[in-house]
Chain A
Amino acid sequence: MRTRIFAVLWVVGICALSGWLITNADGPAINANLMALLPEGERDPVVYDAVDRVEKRFERHIVLLVGAADFEAAKAAARHVSERLTGSGQFHHLRIDHDHDLVRRAVSFYLPLRFQILSNLARDQLRAGNTAAFERTVLMRYYSPKSALSSHLIDKDPLLILPRFLEERAMETIDRPEMEDGYLTVRSDGRIYIILIGELSDTPFSFSLQKQVMPLLDGLRSELPERFQGADYLMAGVLPHAASGTSSALDEMSTVGLGSLLGIIVLLIAIFRSPSPFILTLISIALGCLAGFAACLTVFGEVHLLTLVFGASLVGISVDYSLHYFCERFRFSEHWSPASALRHIFPGITLGLVTSVIGFVGLFFAPFPGMQGMAVFSSVGLCIAYGCVVICYPHFTQGLARPKFERPLEWMRAYSALWSRRRNWWTWATAAALAVLAAFGCLRLAASDDVRLMQTPDPTVMAEEMRTRALIGRNLASQFFLVEGRDDGDFLAREERLTEKLQALRKSGQLVGYLAISDFIASPQRQKENRALLTPLIAARQNTLDRIAGQVGLPDSTRDAYVAAFREAERDSPIGLRQWLAHPVSEPYRHLWLGQSARGVIGVVGLRGVYDLAALQTLADTEPLVHFVDPAGEISGLFGQFRRQTIWLTLISYGVVMLLLVARYGIGGGLLVMSTPVIAAIASLSVLGFLGEPISLFNVMALLLVLGIGVDYALFFRETGTESPATLLAIALSSLTTLLAFGLLALSATTAIHAFGLTILVGILVAFLLSPMAGWHGGSLRASAGAAARRSGVTSEDSAPR
């Protein structure tokens, strides 16, 4: 009885400790971002920090287009959407009304600077000494049917420097959206859309944010058409993708979880015809998962969704320990004692636990937060489940009846008999043919680490995103430059050097465009240079200003006032970046400025239409303090790097397990046990090859699991194989439950999970089928129970000394 109390204490203790850990963590934070599985790149910390800020801002960015046939209805609907979303408290900001008078603000800021700003075209003309071209362009503007000329402007800027500058900026920045009545709008197919630009208060991958915002958005989608004359909205941003990814992952997880749970229950009841085995099994799985989750949360502060999927399924291996225990009951008809059953399986499951944990400890040392999470979750979960079997089971299964259902045992006996038959040339020929087939399949394998292929986007979300992007027009590429400077002026000067080279790339068609702060506020040096370029046009004899004035009829008084203003402005110091940032005119471009860094200041140069990544990388390599960032490419690179690292880790784990097995069983025995998982791994690789599925990190991770589970199967056979049908039944049941858990993952729409599931599916199936092989012993199958086994032939060529 006292030991029974100890067992109860074990269960209650684990529950209490886990519960305490979970409640003491900052809420059960579950992260669904696939990128969060990745390590922090080995970047320069300044660059890393800047990229992190850019990406955080990017993922929180959200664009909504609220559209209706009628402008008034669209306005009302947009205001409604804005109020509801802002009311949720999940938005850092959500802009609906915009600067009414962008042009006037721009004029008010830049007009005093008209002697130190120049459009790129004007500067090129003047630098080349081509004042005739400059003059002609100005005159063309005076006479053109479509130029914004007003007396107010001509009085202040008869050389039309400001409108040329502003028009060039407008041409490079804004495409389709228009400012109407203080709203940013686009029109298409007889509808007018109002653009709402928002920033979420938290990452879109946060569960709590999704839970609050998504139902609101879904509600608005069904509510808008009725309330606002057929109004609707379109959305673009990371949020809808993240939400659809989460919901499909959750759906899959619950389907897979429920499927495997139901499968396990049905199996256990069908085989054992008694409630206690499956109740105890569920308790040990639940305790394992709970403890794994608590441990993960305590160590990392959050649990990744994929960790949960992977880890929970992995803890499903723990079911094996329970199954072995209960299958022992088949061995004895009368004199069943829990203690003897435990004694019989103890070496097998202990070795199984040790080999599994070795595999995961290897993962823990991978520089890879996602894998470390899985390692902690699974190791802790397995240990707890193992503990349940060893500590609790004997006290609750005293009167366990021997199942009356004999048939499964007979099937197993028949199957293991197949393995103990004499191996003739036919066996070897089949094996050789299979080996050739497997080799052929493996040769067809190709690796793919493209992160864009791993996360299969929801087609409806993607279509909506594409439509939104098409409506808004010009989009920035995912690649960008980071430019550093010792101070603001140094930053602007470096950026100008970069943009001059970007202009060259644009002329040669390698780039469509770029967006840089220095185009809106030139560096102090450039402001001085601009002024120097203008000086001869205004101050020289027979100058350009005089010729233009004569041609268009500019009064002398205006001309004199302009020259005087030019002279006076000479004393002005160049205007700085901070003044521009403080003015509303910079509002649409402020996101390019990241501000202070550990080395000075840092900012972003956005890119459009990148056709030549290599040329941009070369540019960054040749310009000091300029960095080219290609996030998707980098992540794909990381995936590849970790795929290779994981392959090594897997090989090392296989090696360590191998050494352990050799130490226990000798070289031949060790090789024999090891051949089960190795052949299983080769088989799944070759199936992937035949199916044309590329190998990614996730397949390799699955192979690691095939090792863990496959070795277990072989081990159990090796250790407890005397009464092989019971062991084989336990293995059959555990592989069935594992197949239920992982086989269902192969149906996942998420490429990563699918790859994972499929690899396991094939690997486990093969490992199960091969497991009796581990029982080959000293030339004969150790099994002595079945008559078939007794009839089995003795071969010496494949004998393995014990």
Chain B
Amino acid sequence: MKWLRRVLALTISAFLAIAPVEADETLSKIHQLLDKNSVICADFTQNKSLRALTRPLISKGRLIFVAGKGVLWQVREPFATQVLVKNDALIKWNDDGVPQRLSFGQAPIFRALSQVFLAGFTGDMTRLGESFEIVSDVVQSRWRLTLTPRDPAFAAIIATVRVSGGRFVDELLIEEGRGDRTLIRFSGMNAESCQLGNAEKGYFAH
């Protein structure tokens, strides 16, 4: 299988070298396909399967994207908790409701991943290229991106990220090395029925 990956990688890089314009075109096609809204909500199911555990960790919840503010992940099962992913930091809430800010400083991997999410919602792929090698693929109204980290330190933690969708992002798969993977599926994603309650507004204010 190793030879196959190498050939594939070679072909892809050769293809990118010859036709970078074409690659940009697919990206802009994806950009056109995506619905661009200032607020998007969805339900999500996260399935984390780790080699070290006998069964996957499954959590469910709701996600709200607000342009310019970030993405709020509200986990409902099995433990209620939330995380706000902003441009430059993660904000977590403790049990006692005190927000804790973790900047991406020491963990740029979070920034790269949050770029993936934000790109998925805004369709803005330009910043994505800074952290990842991008292979994109569009079939009619469906698209798929395969992202490989450029930074070797980053690549040691995350092997690839695959994102796919149509008008909205449907699925996100993070493959870590050594057999750990996280799959996040989004459902009921829409811009219309998105109502931000006072609590949500409060979280976004951080």
Please, which residues of chain B bring their CB within 8 A of the CB of A87? Answer: none
CB distance from A490 to the nearest CB of B (A): 31
Interface window among B10-18, B44-52, B189-197: B44-52
Find out whether the CB atom of B52 lies under 8 angstroms from the CB atom of A151: yes
Which residue of chain A has its CB nearest to the CB of B55? A553
Q: How does the 8 Å CB contact mask read for A82-114 relative to B, with 1 for contact and 0 for none? A: 000000000000000000111110000000000
Find out whether the CB atom of B57 lies under 8 angstroms from the CB atom of A145: no
B85 contacts partner chain A, Cβ-Cβ < 8 Å? yes
| B50 interface neighbour in A151, A171, A181, Cβ under 8 Å | A151
Which residue of chain B has its CB nearest to the CB of A188? B88
Interface centre among B51, B73, B81 (most CB of A within 10 A): B81
A500 contacts partner chain B, Cβ-Cβ < 8 Å? no
Find out whether the CB atom of B75 lies under 8 angstroms from the CB atom of A145: yes
Find out whether the CB atom of A155 lies under 8 angstroms from the CB atom of B52: yes
Please, which residues of chain B bring their CB within 8 A of the CB of A144? Answer: 59, 75, 81, 83, 92
Find out whether the CB atom of B105 lies under 8 angstroms from the CB atom of A143: no
Find out whether the CB atom of A180 lies under 8 angstroms from the CB atom of B52: no
Q: How large is the interface on B (under 10, 10 to 19, 20 to 34, 35 or more residues)?
A: 35 or more
CB within 8 Å of B: which A527-569 residues: 552-555, 558
**Cα of A300 to Cα of B189 in the assembled complex, Å:** 78
Find out whether the CB atom of A558 lies under 8 angstroms from the CB atom of B52: yes
CB within 8 Å of A: which B33-79 residues: 44, 46, 48, 50-55, 57, 59, 61, 73, 75, 78-79
B178 contacts partner chain A, Cβ-Cβ < 8 Å? yes
Interface centre among A154, A171, A176, A181 (most CB of B within 10 A): A171
A691 contacts partner chain B, Cβ-Cβ < 8 Å? no
Which residue of chain B has its CB nearest to the CB of A156? B52
Find out whether the CB atom of A180 lies under 8 angstroms from the CB atom of B151: yes
Which residue of chain A has its CB nearest to the CB of B88? A176
CB within 8 Å of A: which B79-131 residues: 79, 81, 83, 85, 88, 90, 92, 94-95, 100-111, 130
CB distance from B11 to the nearest CB of A (A): 27
**Cα of A729 to Cα of B184 in the assembled complex, Å:** 96
Given contacts A137-B95, A146-B73, A146-B83, contact A174 B105 (CB under 8 A): yes
**Cα of A137 to Cα of B48 in the assembled complex, Å:** 18
B153 contacts partner chain A, Cβ-Cβ < 8 Å? yes
B133 contacts partner chain A, Cβ-Cβ < 8 Å? no
A302 contacts partner chain B, Cβ-Cβ < 8 Å? no
CB distance from A407 to the nearest CB of B (A): 76
Find out whether the CB atom of A148 lies under 8 angstroms from the CB atom of B53: no
B176 contacts partner chain A, Cβ-Cβ < 8 Å? yes
Please, which residues of chain B bring their CB within 8 A of the CB of A100? Answer: 153
Find out whether the CB atom of A150 lies under 8 angstroms from the CB atom of B53: no
B180 contacts partner chain A, Cβ-Cβ < 8 Å? yes
A136 contacts partner chain B, Cβ-Cβ < 8 Å? yes
A170 contacts partner chain B, Cβ-Cβ < 8 Å? yes
B179 contacts partner chain A, Cβ-Cβ < 8 Å? yes
| B59 interface neighbour in A101, A143, A555, Cβ under 8 Å | A143
Please, which residues of chain A bring their CB within 8 A of the CB of B88? Answer: 176, 187
Please, which residues of chain B bring their CB within 8 A of the CB of A137? Answer: 95
Find out whether the CB atom of A181 lies under 8 angstroms from the CB atom of B75: no
Find out whether the CB atom of A149 lies under 8 angstroms from the CB atom of B48: yes
Please, which residues of chain A bring their CB within 8 A of the CB of B46? Answer: 145
B interface, by DSSP: helix, strand, loop or mixed? Answer: mixed
Find out whether the CB atom of A151 lies under 8 angstroms from the CB atom of B75: no
CB distance from B42 to the nearest CB of A (A): 13
Given contacts A151-B52, A171-B100, contact A133 B178 (CB under 8 A): no
Which residue of chain B has its CB nearest to the CB of A180? B108
**Cα of A336 to Cα of B92 in the assembled complex, Å:** 95
CB distance from B133 to the nearest CB of A (A): 15
Find out whether the CB atom of B50 lies under 8 angstroms from the CB atom of A133: no
**Cα of A103 to Cα of B105 in the assembled complex, Å:** 11
Interface centre among B50, B51, B157 (most CB of A within 10 A): B50
Find out whether the CB atom of A146 lies under 8 angstroms from the CB atom of B79: no
Q: How does the 8 Å CB contact mask read for A121-145 relative to B, with 1 for contact and 0 for none? A: 1000000000001001101101111
Find out whether the CB atom of A178 lies under 8 angstroms from the CB atom of B151: no
| B106 interface neighbour in A102, A140, A181, Cβ under 8 Å | A102
| A154 interface neighbour in B44, B50, B92, Cβ under 8 Å | B50
Find out whether the CB atom of B105 lies under 8 angstroms from the CB atom of A178: yes
Please, which residues of chain B bring their CB within 8 A of the CB of A181? Answer: 151
A71 contacts partner chain B, Cβ-Cβ < 8 Å? yes
Find out whether the CB atom of B178 lies under 8 angstroms from the CB atom of A151: yes
Find out whether the CB atom of B81 lies under 8 angstroms from the CB atom of A554: no
**Cα of A144 to Cα of B186 in the assembled complex, Å:** 16
Please, which residues of chain A bring their CB within 8 A of the CB of B50? Answer: 149-151, 154
Given contacts A145-B184, A150-B176, A171-B100, contact A554 B52 (CB under 8 A): yes
Find out whether the CB atom of A146 lies under 8 angstroms from the CB atom of B95: no
Please, which residues of chain B bring their CB within 8 A of the CB of A177? Answer: 105
Please, which residues of chain A bring their CB within 8 A of the CB of B57? Answer: 142-143, 552-553
Find out whether the CB atom of A555 lies under 8 angstroms from the CB atom of B54: yes
Find out whether the CB atom of B52 lies under 8 angstroms from the CB atom of A170: no
CB within 8 Å of A: which B162-178 residues: 176, 178
A15 contacts partner chain B, Cβ-Cβ < 8 Å? no
**Cα of A142 to Cα of B57 in the assembled complex, Å:** 7
**Cα of A150 to Cα of B109 in the assembled complex, Å:** 14
Please, which residues of chain A bring their CB within 8 A of the CB of B90? Answer: 146
**Cα of A139 to Cα of B81 in the assembled complex, Å:** 11
**Cα of A180 to Cα of B149 in the assembled complex, Å:** 12
Please, which residues of chain A bring their CB within 8 A of the CB of B180? Answer: 149-151
**Cα of A180 to Cα of B130 in the assembled complex, Å:** 10
Find out whether the CB atom of A175 lies under 8 angstroms from the CB atom of B79: no
CB distance from A67 to the nearest CB of B (A): 16
Find out whether the CB atom of B106 lies under 8 angstroms from the CB atom of A143: no
Find out whether the CB atom of B52 lies under 8 angstroms from the CB atom of A178: no
Please, which residues of chain B bring their CB within 8 A of the CB of A142? Answer: 57
A2 contacts partner chain B, Cβ-Cβ < 8 Å? no
Please, which residues of chain A bring their CB within 8 A of the CB of B92? Answer: 144, 146
Which residue of chain B has its CB nearest to the CB of A474? B103
Which residue of chain B has its CB nearest to the CB of A179? B108
CB distance from B130 to the nearest CB of A (A): 7
A167 contacts partner chain B, Cβ-Cβ < 8 Å? yes
Which residue of chain B has its CB nearest to the CB of A143? B59
**Cα of A170 to Cα of B180 in the assembled complex, Å:** 25
Given contacts A104-B153, A142-B57, A554-B53, contact A179 B105 (CB under 8 A): yes
| B111 interface neighbour in A101, A140, A154, A178, Cβ under 8 Å | A178
Please, which residues of chain B bring their CB within 8 A of the CB of A558? Answer: 52
A152 contacts partner chain B, Cβ-Cβ < 8 Å? yes
Find out whether the CB atom of A176 lies under 8 angstroms from the CB atom of B105: yes
Please, which residues of chain B bring their CB within 8 A of the CB of A180? Answer: 108, 151
**Cα of A151 to Cα of B105 in the assembled complex, Å:** 23
Find out whether the CB atom of B102 lies under 8 angstroms from the CB atom of A171: yes
| B51 interface neighbour in A139, A151, A179, Cβ under 8 Å | A151
A-B contact pairs, 7 of them (CB 8 A): A139-B78, A143-B79, A170-B107, A174-B106, A176-B88, A187-B88, A554-B53
18 more A-B residue pairs beyond the given contacts A103-B106, A104-B153, with a C-beta to C-beta distance below 8 A: A71-B130, A100-B153, A136-B95, A139-B79, A143-B78, A145-B46, A145-B184, A146-B92, A151-B51, A151-B52, A151-B53, A151-B178, A155-B52, A171-B102, A174-B103, A174-B106, A177-B105, A555-B52
Can you list the 5 inter-chain pairs with the closest CB atoms, starting with the nearest? A151-B52, A174-B105, A154-B52, A553-B54, A553-B55
